[in-house]
Amino acid sequence: MNCSFIAHYDINGFYAEYFESGDATIDFLSQFDRSKGCRSIELGMDYWLDSEGYRDINGRMVEIAAKYIPALTQVAESRQRKRDITLAELLLAKHGLKIRESKE
C-alpha cells in the first residue's frame, strides 16, 4: 500500500495481476524506473515515492531496482513474446491455419 498499489484481495491476486504476463511485469517494473518517472501504474502519479514515513525505503527500492530492471525487462519481453506466439498459433489452429515460418 505504501507504493500506491490498490488491493488485489490477497498476495495471489497481486501476483496474478503483475507477474502472469510479461507485459504486466514490464508495467510493474516501470513504477520503480526513474527513467520512466516512477509513476504509479495504478494511479498515474509519483507521490508514492515521497510518501511521508516511507520516503527512505521507497527511494531505496527505486535505487536498487535500477540494477535489475534491464535484465528483468528482457526476461519479461521474452516470456511475453512466447505467450503471444502461442496464442497466435492457437487462434490460427482454431481456424485450420498454421504459422508459416519466415526465413530471416
3-state secondary structure the chain: CCCCCCCCCCHHHHHHHHHCCHHHHHHHHHCCCHHHCCCCCCCCCCHHHHCCCCHHHHHHHHHHHHHHHHHHHHHHHHHHHHHHHHHHHHHHHHCCCCCCCCCC
pLDDT class of 52 with cuts at 50, 70, 90: confident
Q: pTM value?
A: 0.85
C-alpha cell at 84: 503471444
**In the predicted model, what is the mean pLDDT of the chain?**
92
* Residue 46, pLDDT above cutoff 70: yes
pLDDT class of 27 with cuts at 50, 70, 90: very high
Mean local confidence (pLDDT), 20-25: 97
pLDDT class of 8 with cuts at 50, 70, 90: confident
